[in-house]
Amino acid sequence: MDNKAMYQLTYGLFVLSAKDGDKDNGCIINTAGQVTTTPNRITIAVNKQNCTHDMIRKTGEFNLSILDESAPFAIFERFGFQCGRDTDKLAGLEVLRADNGLFYLKGHASAFLSGKVVETMDLGTHTLFLADVTDGALLSGDNPITYAYYQKNTKPKPEKTEKKGYRCKICGYIYEGEPLPEDFICPICKHGAIDFEKII
């Protein structure tokens, strides 16, 4: 099997948000899609290592901010490359609240959706949540960002380095060593070995 075939699947990028009591959290996902229109339902797959995952498991509610092409790399760093357990990911960021009380992005989002979980499936590393769409609104209405757009335009170009090893294609983290363990997980963005490339 040629893994490059998998890279031809298209994905959007989203800030997934949840709330447990007074605690807000959010993370970046690329796995959201509508599965039925009647009823209006979407699925999201969320890595179990994300704090947001545990909150959604507990509360059954989430918002999805559909990022647009204006989203700067800083948004991905803020929500994707740090852990909500020891940082406040919302610090200094202006957000809005939906009727469910959860935040969504005020800027850099083309729309937001609110989801209420109706079923979950354990996928090993991830949990798949099937949810009713209970609310939503158009925000900027601009082109939603795709994963391909992010790779080409949003992510900073990798700096030249003397280091030898493998670079995470998502966040730029460098693993110094040979070979890269097959079960390696990026300590910054939690992506697996498949998202690393050899530094040449």
How many CB atoms are located within 10 Å of the residue 96 CB? 15
Among 13, 71, 139, 189, binds Fe ion (CB under 5 A): 189
Asked if 67 contacts 143 with a C-beta cutoff of 8 angstroms, the reply is no
Does residue 11 belong to the site contacting Fe ion (CB under 5 A)? Answer: no
Q: Quote the CA–CA distance of 156 and 159 in Å, as a whole number.
A: 8
User: Which own/partner pairs from 86-92 qualify as long-range (CB within 8 Å, at least 24 positions apart)?
Assistant: 89/24, 89/25, 89/26, 90/24, 90/26
Q: Where are the alpha helices (DSSP H) in 60-140?
A: 73-80
Question: Which amino acid is present at 106?
Answer: K
Q: For residues 19 and 191, which CB has a smaller minimum distance to Fe ion in the complex?
A: 191
Among 80, 171, 175, 196, binds Fe ion (CB under 5 A): 171
Does residue 174 belong to the site contacting Fe ion (CB under 5 A)? Answer: no
> Residue 109 Cβ, how far from Fe ion at the closest point, in Å?
23
* Phi, psi angles (nearest 5°) of residue 136: 170, 155
Q: For residues 90 and 185, which CB has a smaller minimum distance to Fe ion in the complex?
A: 185
Does residue 173 belong to the site contacting Fe ion (CB under 5 A)? Answer: yes
Q: 124 in the Ramachandran plot: left (φ > 0), alpha (ψ -120 to 50) or beta?
A: left
Binding mask 115-154 for Fe ion (x = CB under 5 A): ----------------------------------------
> Residue 30 Cβ, how far from Fe ion at the closest point, in Å?
13
> Residue 168 Cβ, how far from Fe ion at the closest point, in Å?
3
Which of these segments, 16-24, 90-98, 116-124, 173-181, binds Fe ion (CB under 5 A)?
173-181
Does residue 188 belong to the site contacting Fe ion (CB under 5 A)? Answer: yes
Q: Which of 194, 144, 156 is nearest to 12 (CA)?
A: 144
Does residue 27 belong to the site contacting Fe ion (CB under 5 A)? Answer: no
Look-up: residue for tokens 């809005």?
96
The residues binding Fe ion (CB under 5 A) are 168, 170-171, 173, 186, 188-189
